Structure 1
């Protein structure tokens, strides 16, 4: 019985609380990244950052740290369980947020951001692994979409929260708020989250065993292909987060609207994630995910053409970037699920490997795109279009015979069913 997977005796939360709890853990990352956007000019001035483009390192450093430790958190979670490892990661996140709050120099701040990301990586690895522990195929995609929908509401709020804090306090106060949030997200899951790791899937903390799981994750064609597709697609999101402050402030000269612009672009992402949870069970992972990737490519190509023609305005940018982020939300939920579809016995390690590849690759590509900022949106929109096209091409190469396949073609990895208390 799957019930035996809940070995800690915790009372099982319902679907709504479980979704909110997992989304809250994932949102630690969104807050840590997006709440910083309005503060970048103040951070640069306070810590004497000479080049404006160097302020992007506040965002990029977090992604670098986020990638660096995912191969540590996954094996630890496969050995000791999801719950204690998650608590350790979130607690460290709070400690390093305090380090950033009191950083005396820009290098110390960047170092603190790396450590924050390294700690928060536990949430990315373990939320995905816990959803994989509990659900299969289309149901897994539905729950993941609900988690992403909830946590994608954070980018709507985070920059505005950051701006609100800046009205009453310096940028350092944002990190103090993040530290308090981390404390809440240690206590709530510890009290309410059950241990989801199935006893049969516990793995020894052995580098040879871990290495075998890593190789298996890389060698499995579906895992490898969709991980690479997600990496290139995710690069567009990293480039956006890195560049949006300069785009709004410098390219359009409307810095006072940064919170509103960010919210207007992020809202379609949350809506798309909710819609995905409604339609994926009807049409299937591949049909929805592949169609979204195609839409992602077309929309970004149109946006690049408009910018190159000199027709870009701020309202048009918001509209097209909102559509881009909506298609990305559909794409990410389903391609991430397809990458994990056959990884149940090694879900923690597989999620780690996929996260490392995806985050390092996306951070590198996104940073390169962001550094091309020249006072216009053109480098950004061209880079985004290239990422979308590259991601779709890899999907085609990964499963050419199952492109846009219907729901019946999905093959779920064998795994016990979900108990009624959770489903």
Structure 2
């Protein structure tokens, strides 16, 4: 493979990987404008985010078997086409119910891109290059929460929130064209693979019965749901409570993303001295302390814009340490069913995210307390699951150096 081909493949796969994060983050600054145009509240608008999380959760379980049965490109083409149509539907939505439905369909489409890009790394590159390729893709994903809301804030302020979805539609069209023209067929369809529900369900059940899987996947998903509480609640908190505009909110979101991304990179240095389980234990304790401090300060009316940003930054740093270690330990016991375990872990994580974002949307009055209390509750529950669950693990399979991984939001 020459350098030019290598570059184009990384560029296309990176675009596929970033489509979901861009679809989540780019429209967040538009919450107040959407609420005004659709005659609803910002908290109701956050249900469109919940709908997206539910779509991603379901899509991860759907596309795994389809990509193996029919090859990579056909399901990917269908998914991207669905994404383009749904993005256009979001742009022309005339009610909040229509927007929520279109966001759900949009997520189903974008999920094909995320799942296919991971599978195609294994198909197109030698095993020795996989870690390097995944690192490059993670840089793209890491940059998206810094770029997307900032761009979204400026676009919303200048042209309106509908333009954000038109941009996402254009991204979908460009990615579909690049995929059709330059992405090679990387996998021969496995016609012997059954798509009947029973064997697929039995496969997932065999995964979830493993104590190490359910302990660390649930711990990671519940802890990570605090990030979804932040993503769902932050437009209301920063733009309705602290009265920042769309542009400032985009910059704040970008700044806070540095905490999550930076700590996940710092985790690789910590793993030279500490085991993943030790890092999770300590990070969960710190996360609990930070979130309860924030909830108490919110309840007491002591939170300011600056203190909120500082506490959120520290909270996201903890998630950046918990997430890759919990993901790696969840998958460590599996060699045969690693794909099913990965899909199930992602579905659990997004399912938790959808649940907590729905809870956030139930609170109509602008306040920091719903977000802060949801973060505190998720931190406490994650620590309890971790402490109870690890007692059920009779022989823990440890993570080999350099195999830590993470789930992309």
C-alpha contact 2:222 2:379 (8 A) present in aligned 1: yes
- The C-alpha deviation readout for 1:17-52, integer Å capped at 9, x for no partner, is 877655533321221121111112222222222x34
Match of 1:418 in 2: none
Q: Does the 8 Å CA contact 2:328/2:399 hold for their aligned counterparts?
A: no
- Alpha carbons 1:369, 1:380 under 8 Å: kept: yes
3-state secondary structure, aligned to 2:39? coil
Deviates more, 1:313-322 or 1:369-378: 369-378
Confirm whether residue 59 of structure 1 aligns to residue 49 of structure 2: yes
Q: 1:156 to 1:72 in 2, by over 3 A?
A: same
- The answer to whether the Cα contact below 8 Å between 1:93 and 1:116 also exists between their aligned partners in 2 is yes
The answer to whether structure 1 residue 270 and structure 2 residue 261 are counterparts is yes
State whether residues 70 and 189 of structure 2, in contact with CA within 8 Å, keep that contact through their aligned partners in structure 1.
Answer: no
Q: Is the 8 A contact 1:75 1:348 kept in 2?
A: no
Superposition deviation, residue 302 in structure 1: 2.5
- 2:289 aligns with one of 292, 298, 302: 298
Q: Say which of 68, 82, 85 aligns to 2:58.
A: 68
CA distance in 1, matches of 2:228, 2:104: 15
The partner residue of 2:383 within 392, 402, 410 is: 392
Q: Compared with structure 1, are the counterparts of its residues 91 and 161 closer, same or farther at alpha carbon in structure 2 (3 Å cutoff)?
A: same
**1:154 corresponds to which of 140, 144, 150:** 144
* Cα drift, residue 315 of structure 1: 0.8
CA contact 1:126–1:348 (8 Å) conserved in 2: no
Q: Counterpart in 2 of 1:350?
A: 341
Aligned mates of 2:20, 2:295 — CA distance in 1: 29
Specify the SS of the correspondent of 2:337: helix
Larger mean CA deviation between 61-70 and 142-151 belongs to 142-151
Separation (CA, whole Å) in 2 of partners of 1:52 and 1:71: 30
CA contact (8 A) 2:212 2:393 kept: no
Q: Structure 1, unaligned stretches of length 5 or more? A: 1-9, 416-423
Shift of 1:149: 4.5
| Pair 1:164–1:356, CA change in 2 (3 A) | same
> Contact 2:46 / 2:357 at 8 angstroms: preserved in 1?
no
* Structure 2: 5+ residue stretches without partners: 404-409
| Superposition RMSD in Å | 3.5
Matched length? 396
2:339 is the counterpart of 1:360: no
Q: Could you say which residue in structure 1 is the equivalent of 2:251?
A: 260
More moved, 113-122 vs 23-32: 23-32
- Partners in 1 of 2:59 and 2:223 — Cα distance? 22
Corresponding residue for residue 219 of structure 1: 209
Aligned to 2:90: 100
Query: Who is 1:204 aligned against?
Result: 194
How far is the alpha carbon of 1:237 from its aligned partner?
Answer: 1.7
- Counterpart in 1 of 2:21? 30
2-structure distance, mates of 1:276, 1:172: 38
Counterparts of 2:91 and 2:347, CA distance in 1: 27
Deviation, 1:357, is 2.5
Change beyond 3 A, Cα 1:395–1:90: farther
Distance 1:100 1:39 in 2: 13
- Which of the numbers 310, 331, 336 marks the counterpart of 1:340? 331
Deviation at 1:270, TM superposition (A): 1.9
Go from structure 1 to structure 2 and tell me whether the alpha carbon gap of 1:276 and 1:84 turns closer, same or farther (over 3 Å shift). Answer: farther
TM-score after normalising by structure 2: 0.83
- How far apart, in 1, do the equivalents of 2:326 and 2:368 lie? 28
Matched, 1:182 2:168: no
- CA displacement at 1:140 relative to structure 2: 8.6
Alignment match, 1:319: 310
Change (3 A) 1:369 1:47: closer
**2:360–2:370 contact (8 Å) kept in structure 1:** yes
TM-score by length of 1: 0.81
**Separation in 2, partners of 1:17, 1:395:** 42
1:107-256 to structure 2, matched below 5 A, reads 107-126=97-116, 147-188=137-178, 191-192=182-183, 195=186, 203-256=193-246
Q: Is the 8 A contact 2:68 2:189 kept in 1?
A: no
Distance 1:193 1:385, change over 3 A: farther
Q: Answer yes or no: is the 8 Å Cα contact 2:29–2:153 preserved in 1.
A: yes
Contact 1:12 1:192 in 2 (8 A): no
- Find the aligned partners of 2:143 and 2:69 in 1 and give their Cα distance: 33
What residue number does 2:407 align with?
Answer: none
